[in-house]
Structure formats: structure tokens, C-alpha cells
Chains A and B, each alone.
Chain A
């Protein structure tokens, strides 16, 4: 790892990332020949450790010379909050665009101070250094906002999302919705600081609409609460991700589209329209299984069908 950054948060670079970024940046570059002349000679150093060191030094020198570090340095320097809360920031090589992003690692050793325990790792593809500059800077600013939020006591981040009724599929759904909301709050802040173009709003709104299809006409207005307003807390984002209606209305749970059937506990958009009008026999069948159930708790159409069917079956006359 190669250290950089004279003041503030120390930034360490994965030599593999540096080497690859320099290699790509120099393809077709007028200085490529000079670089290769220097580099070619290093292959002849017989001591493997010395050779490795020499390669790393050369790549590091050209990394700076080509100005490849500038966007990273800028993005990190903007986050002076991190100086007092994080030990180092490590920039390493991502093997795919999907893998790119920032993560906060916390050492479980409680003997260390809070700052000593925390490290930030940012994964970047070497190709990303060559994209038109604002792209990498925008990406880094967004990622570092996640880290800043995580470290902000006001935000109250908790890495373990609450368990959801319904199993792993719903865990993933919750996680996805939570990310959509958090990203909306971050990009909203970025636009207000002039760090992201206005057009990003439409992208986040699109993500939001896909993650919360049940909001219908209110989608745009509700999206604004996340994108256009601040501050936000982790707890409120989670609450909305779990159950947007309840979170908004603060109302008690009742049958509402997207809510859970009080019997089978599966989320549903199709509740039995008038549960109080079900035949008495059906209601009594339900109450045999669910003694606490009242018709205003509602039930899904499938459950209603099941109990209607069961009553019919019990009343049926079989010829045998």
C-alpha cells in the first residue's frame, strides 16, 4: 500500500490499482515511450523485493505526474469530518463496475479508540480514472457522503437492518428500498451543493418509483420529502422502507394495499372487500383458527376463499 496525503486523512493506494491506472492512462500518450523505457529496465533487477519496490515507486511517481490522484484527493479533502473519526482511507482495485463503492470497516477490538478502529475502503476500477473527470469526482462525493452519514450521530446509522417478517426475499426488498431512499437524500444534498447535475433528480425518482410502486399518484410528492428535504435519520428511512403508509400516517395497521393479511401474514393488494359480510359460518371457521380475529382486521382474498371453501366442503353431501 502506498501512502498519500500530507495533512488530513491519510489515503493509501493499492499498488495494483495505481499500476493499472497508469498503464491505461499512458496508452497512446506522448510520454508512453519514456515511461516504458524506465519500466523495462526494472524487469532486470534480480532481487524480487527490490524489483517489486522499484515497480511500485515508478508507478506511484507516474500516477502523481499524470494527475490521476487529483479527484480522489479533492473528494477526501472536502470531508474534513473524516479526519477526526477515521484512521485511513484505502483506495483499491475493483474488478467490475458493480463492485465500485465505499465501505466503512470497524475493527471489533474495543481496546482501540473509535478513530483507530475505523477505516474506509473505496473500490474503483482502473478504467474509471480515465472517464471524463466529473464522473469519478461525483461518484466519490456520493460514496463519501454515505460514510459521513454513517459517522454522523444525528443520522444514527445501524449496520444491521431490522429483520422483516416474510423471510430473506423481504430482507432484500427492505435493503433495496432503504438504499433507494438513502441515495435520494444524498443526491438531493449533492444537487443543492452544486456537486451533481439537476438531471440526477429524475434518475433517483425513477429508482424511487420502482422501489415503491404502491404509492401511485403520491410518488412524486413523497419522493420530494427525501430528495428535497434534510436532515434525515436512519430510523426514519428504515420505517418508510418497511411500510411507507404507516410511516407517513403514523396510523395503526389496518387493511391497506401492500399491507399484510392478518391471517396468512403475506403482503397483499387484494383484501376481501367486505369481511363483515362473510357468512357467519365462515367467520366462525376463521375464529376457530384465529380466536383474536375481528372482521375489521381484514383478510386477503386467498384466505377468504380458503375458509369459504372449507365451509362448503363441510356442508357438502357426498354420495359415499
Chain B
């Protein structure tokens, strides 16, 4: 075991391999507040990559209703439970979320899936995990829209309107793909070294020629995003639509392009990028990269179950209406601050939030041109001022991709077409 630095945990941790970081890292931000579970992303992926025989139960992209739903069923509860058994009562964070990007969420003092020594018998796995049954894989959208009711009152919803900060009756949609983790558990577990992380963009791939169907990765990936295919007897996973990210899609004009599931998002809740890495495994400062801004400056986007230890590269703006203890378990101690800043966004955040899904090309940099004040008022006791700023997105080649404003443009149809669509 070597020691690697995991900035999500604010500390070093055990990992079976030496640390090695890509130049840039595939990463994404999903704004849960905007997802409507239309499953367009799910189908965009399926119709591109997993429509063949033997892939019937394979959904590299999926959207599940939390807290009851899950694909495979109960994946998160199961791994959290195993960790709890490994380290009873020890899965805790200390220190408060701080300003520094080496430990933005404080320090996690519990055990990761690589460290749960009590449960890792020598000679067996290198990673704590479990193998889901067919049954658990078979119902990708089980418990869709099933809410949690009021505590202790079964079959009863809130009869009257409710107000933020939290709802007593609640659910939310969690969209998931492979997190192309910085310390992939799938890679760590593979006895044949068939899984690799690309040095140019950190995308994690399974070499289909090397895989021999041991399914150690399926067992080890805590997010259950490696999936075994029975008819070819090899495991497959999300490939981050790498031809698009490489700019090989004919539509891209040679520029890096966002993945299928991102581009298809109806709720405009997804943004994907390639963030700059520095050689200590921390994101290199890149102040005007939108993902860097959302994760490290505004700190509104948080990793999914950081305590598992893989340093996943998917980040989520947590849902405002969900009880905080649930969210803290899912996204770590940064939740309260993230929700506070998202609910009462400052001038820059409001502008950056406009960048989601205005183009399918990957945004490498943004710039804000200040506009006039358009609103002033109070919201739940907070003073709110809105400016109609213009935000401009630039691609890898430094060229402008698009520009948009905070205030949505209003189009007035000509009288001739006033009532047509």
C-alpha cells in the first residue's frame, strides 16, 4: 500500500498504487435542483453505447429517486453499511470546512474502502465492496418518485404548503455516471491491470482485450459503475464519450465536446469540463474555469460520498429542500455552506450558472461583462440584487463559444406568427 493525498478527505490515505495524475481531469457538475428525471441523459447514453445484445441491464448513465431508489438497488446504503461495520461509529469528519483547496471540507477521520482493514482479508480483495445480484441490477428506476413522509407518520404527506429550508415530505433525483475517479477502486481491484486512467484527461477505461471477467471491479467500485456483460464475458463501463472529449465528433470542429449525457440534458443541469491538475493531485488554480469556480471558489458543488475515498470527479449542487443530515452523509460537511450560497447567489455565481448547456463544446474559461442593476429586494430576509451581466464562454482554442446574459432574453414574435409555435 502506498499513501496518496485525497483532498476531498483533507488527508493522506492508503491506495494500492503510487499516485499519478493526469494533465487534465474529466470532471462534471450536476445541479440537482434542476433535474426533472426525464431520463433523456439515460437514453442518450443507452442509445449510443449500450443498445446491443448482452447490455440489456446496463445503464452507464442513470437517474435514481433518492432516498429509496438506486441502481443497483441500495448500492449506497450497502457500501455505507459495510464501512460502518469495518469502523463502528468512526465514520466521522473533524475540522470545519475551510478556505483552502487542500482540505475544503475539513478532515475525514473514518476509513475509506481502501482502508477498511478489518473487512479486507489477506489474499482476497484490495478494496471493500460487494457484488450486486441480478435482482439488484434489474430495476434501474425502482421507487421512482417515492417520497419520504413525515417522521413516524406512515402514508401521510404534508397537507399544507411547506417552506424552505427543508421539506418534511421529500425526494430528489440523483443523476449518476462513472466518476472517473482520481483513485479508482475499479482500477485498484483488477487483478489483471486491465483498467487504466488516461494521462491526458483522466478518463478511466477498461481494456476490453485484457479483461477476463473476474468482476473484481464490479465488486470494488463503490458507485457500482462497472458492469459485467454476460455474452462477451467482459466488464464494461462509461467511457466518458471519449471520442467527443477528444474533439473527434464531426460536429465538434476538432474542439473538445461534452459527452452525450451532458449534451442531452433537458433540465440544463449538467456541465462537463476538463480541469487542470497540478502534480500533487490538487486542482491547479484556474480561476475562470467554470468547474474550478463552482467547486473551489463558490464551493456550491460537492463530491458524491467523498468518504468512500476514490476522490470522484462528479460534483453536485445539493438540493435545497432535503433534510441536511441526509445531505451531509451524501456530500460531506460542505453541504450547509453550498446550499446557503446557492440559495442566495452572489453576482458572479448567478452569471456562471447561466453557462449550463448553452453549447455542447467544453468551456475552458469564462469572462463576465458587467451589466445594469435590474432588481433589488429581499428573499427570506436576505438582501438580493440582480445585475444583467453578460457571461462569455471560451473554448480550448481560446475562441468565444457563446455569450449569454443573466436576464433571460425575451423574444417577441412578429404579429403575423404571434400565436403559432
Contact = CB atoms under 8 A, between A and B. Distances in A.
Contacts of B287: none
A95 B212 contact: no
Which A-B residue pairs are the 10 nearest by beta carbons? A96-B135, A95-B134, A40-B212, A95-B138, A28-B124, A43-B212, A127-B133, A16-B230, A95-B135, A96-B138
A86 B230 CA distance: 31
Contacts of A125: 133-135
B233 interface: yes
13 contacts: A23-B215, A39-B212, A40-B212, A43-B212, A43-B233, A93-B134, A95-B134, A95-B138, A96-B135, A125-B133, A125-B134, A126-B134, A127-B133
Contacts of A16: 230
Q: Among B124, B133, B134, B138, which residue has the most Cβ atoms of chain A within 10 A?
A: B134
Contacts of A27: 131
A27 B134 CA distance: 17
B135 A36 contact: no
Given A43-B233, A96-B134, 20 more contacts: A16-B230, A23-B215, A36-B212, A36-B214, A39-B212, A40-B212, A43-B212, A55-B233, A93-B134, A95-B134, A95-B135, A95-B138, A96-B135, A96-B138, A97-B135, A125-B133, A125-B134, A125-B135, A126-B134, A127-B133
Q: Which size class do A's interface residues fall under?
A: 10 to 19
Nearest to B232: A43
B54 to A, nearest CB: 11
Interface string B123-146: 010000001011100100000000
A265 B134 CA distance: 45
Nearest to B216: A27
Contacts of A55: 233
B176 to A, nearest CB: 22
A162 to B, nearest CB: 34
B207 to A, nearest CB: 12
Interface string A169-191: 00000000000000000000000
Contacts of B233: 43, 55
A16 B233 CA distance: 11
Contacts of A127: 133
Interface residues of B, number: 11
Nearest to B123: A28
Nearest to A97: B135
A23 B233 CA distance: 12
A55 B230 CA distance: 12
Interface string A8-28: 000000001001000100011
Contacts of B212: 36, 39-40, 43
Nearest to B209: A43
Contacts of B131: 27
Nearest to A55: B233
A19 B233 CA distance: 10
A27 B213 CA distance: 13
Interface in A123-137: 125-127
A43 B192 CA distance: 14
A127 B133 CA distance: 8
B218 to A, nearest CB: 11
Contacts of B138: 95-96
A96 B135 CA distance: 5
A88 B138 CA distance: 29
Nearest to B57: A95
Interface in B329-369: none
Nearest to B133: A127
Contacts of A43: 212, 233
B115 to A, nearest CB: 21
Interface in B196-216: 212, 214-215
A16 B54 CA distance: 12
Nearest to A95: B134
Contacts of A93: 134
Interface in B210-232: 212, 214-215, 230
Nearest to A96: B135
A16 B215 CA distance: 16
Nearest to A16: B230
Interface string A27-40: 11000000010011
A18 to B, nearest CB: 12
A16 B138 CA distance: 16
A23 B218 CA distance: 14
A258 B131 CA distance: 48
Interface in B306-336: none
B216 to A, nearest CB: 10
Interface in A109-140: 125-127
Interface string A89-103: 000010111000000
Contacts of A40: 212
Contacts of A39: 212
Contacts of A36: 212, 214
B303 to A, nearest CB: 30
Interface string B222-259: 00000000100100000000000000000000000000
A43 B210 CA distance: 9
A101 B279 CA distance: 57
A39 B138 CA distance: 27
Contacts of A19: 230
